[in-house]
Copies of this chain bind each other. A is one copy, B any other.
Amino acid sequence: MPEKKNEVIHAALLGAGTVGGGLYRLVKKMKKEIPHRIGCELDIKKVLVRDASKPRKGIDESVLTDNWDEILNDKDIQIVIELMGGTSLAKAHIIDALNAGKHVVTANKDLLAQHGEEIFAAARENNCDIQFEAAVAGAIPIIRPLMQNMAGDNITEIMGIVNGTTNYILTMMTEEKMSYSEALKIAQEKGYAESDPASDVEGLDAARKLAIMAQLIYHTNVTFEDVYKEGITAIMPDDIRYTGELGYVIKLVGITKLTEGKVEARVHPIMLKKDHPLASVRKSFNAIFVKGEAMDEAMFMGRGAGSMPTASAVLGDVLDVMRNIRMGCCGRVQVENYRDIPVKPIDETKNNYFIRMKVEDRPGVLAEIANVLGDNKVGIANVSQKDTRDGVADLLFIIEEVKESHMVEACCAMRGLDCVYSIANVIRVY
């Protein structure tokens, strides 16, 4: 075993934004500690930025470059740390780097959720490491546990709160009784939400992370496009209040499981019993709940975003690559989709549902609606009437497990009834 003490491994950092800047600071801070832990030093030799003439606080000017080729052609640089984001330039650089035999650490969920298979294949072909712990749920260790700790088990289901913005908004709506728009505004003020919040609140960000996890545990290609996405913009204070009274909290989750030989992969609001471990995950925290045949249940909670938490996950990966370089075993853990499992359309999934509807307040209405539900093979687990006012009542149903297509048809049919003024919301129940 070659023991090359005090050797230096050089890396290049692509991007000096929030996470890139955080990583640079963290590497500086841990400089003396790293050789003790890994057996060699880490040097960030180059930092790729759009404008190299613009000074970056805390980053030595001499390492800044806006020329990718300077990094690609530098034989000293063995690791490329991609924190620039985006899917076109980042993809090109990563593929370039792998083809040049450089190892890659990335936090780019957009890229992996869209082009994961191509990137993983390039890593395999070049016997290179591609590590991406920070791409899913920031500082929470989940990629390594799924790929290594749980490699001897069959993971049957993952349910995760993997978007801090929406979890913060839902927490404010629940605990502070805010409306969606009030909560969004606070989230934006606190820096938890972007000025254009669509990617978070529409569930797109969560869908990217879910696609990556689904691929890892089912060993089949699952992309962002395959994931059903439904955000939180339709959640009203009445939904929060009524579901709370029924003993539930509403969370935006990503769920993937294997049913009837197909992969379910979906992001949508869900009602969780208050004693479910995910129910108590508050504010901007993320958490991932995993079920396995042998391991039973586990949950991982932590910071899903933020400069330093994300940087800590990235640096963990970089150090792991350094171990592999020293031991000559890069490419030790690879992603390989050795299965080809179809993704199940949301219509074919089975769920319990909560329905909140505005109906005419007179005897016989419940019977009419119950008949329509029954005709569509939809069973009622629980029904209650609330807030009758001016001849209008709120009618709440909890529906027994049923195929989503039946539920959709039943809603269509109910909307056709004169006594039904509106179906205010339908939320899936865990």
Contacts and interface: CB of A to CB of B under 8 A. Distances in A.
Interface of A: 1, 22, 26-27, 30, 33-34, 36-38, 127, 133, 139-141, 144-145, 148-154, 219, 275, 277, 280, 282, 292-303, 306, 308-309, 311-316, 318-320, 323-324, 327-329, 331-333, 336, 338
Contact of A36 (B297, B314, B332, B338): B338
B144 A145 contact: yes
A5 to B, nearest CB: 12
A219 to B, nearest CB: 7
Per assembly, the copies of the chain total 2
Across the A-B interface, the 7 shortest Cβ-Cβ residue pairs: A152-B315, A298-B302, A329-B329, A294-B312, A327-B329, A141-B145, A141-B149
A188 B320 CA distance: 43
A331 to B, nearest CB: 6
Nearest to A318: B152
A223 to B, nearest CB: 21
A96 B238 CA distance: 67
Nearest to A322: B151
A331 B1 contact: yes
A154 B303 contact: no
Contact of A150 (B36, B154, B316): B316
15 contacts: A30-B152, A30-B154, A37-B151, A141-B145, A141-B300, A148-B320, A149-B316, A151-B316, A151-B320, A153-B312, A295-B308, A295-B309, A297-B303, A299-B301, A328-B328
A219 B32 CA distance: 14
Contact of A313 (B141, B275, B295, B331): B295
A128 to B, nearest CB: 10
Contacts of A275: 280, 282
A319 B152 contact: yes
A36 B333 CA distance: 12
A30 B292 CA distance: 13
A152 B312 contact: yes
A152 B36 contact: no
Contacts of A33: 154
Nearest to A339: B36
A34 B153 CA distance: 10
A259 B141 CA distance: 26
Contacts of A329: 324, 327-329, 332
Given A149-B144, A318-B152, A299 B296 contact: no
Nearest to A319: B151
Contact of A303 (B293, B296, B301, B315): B296
A358 to B, nearest CB: 35
B312 A292 contact: yes
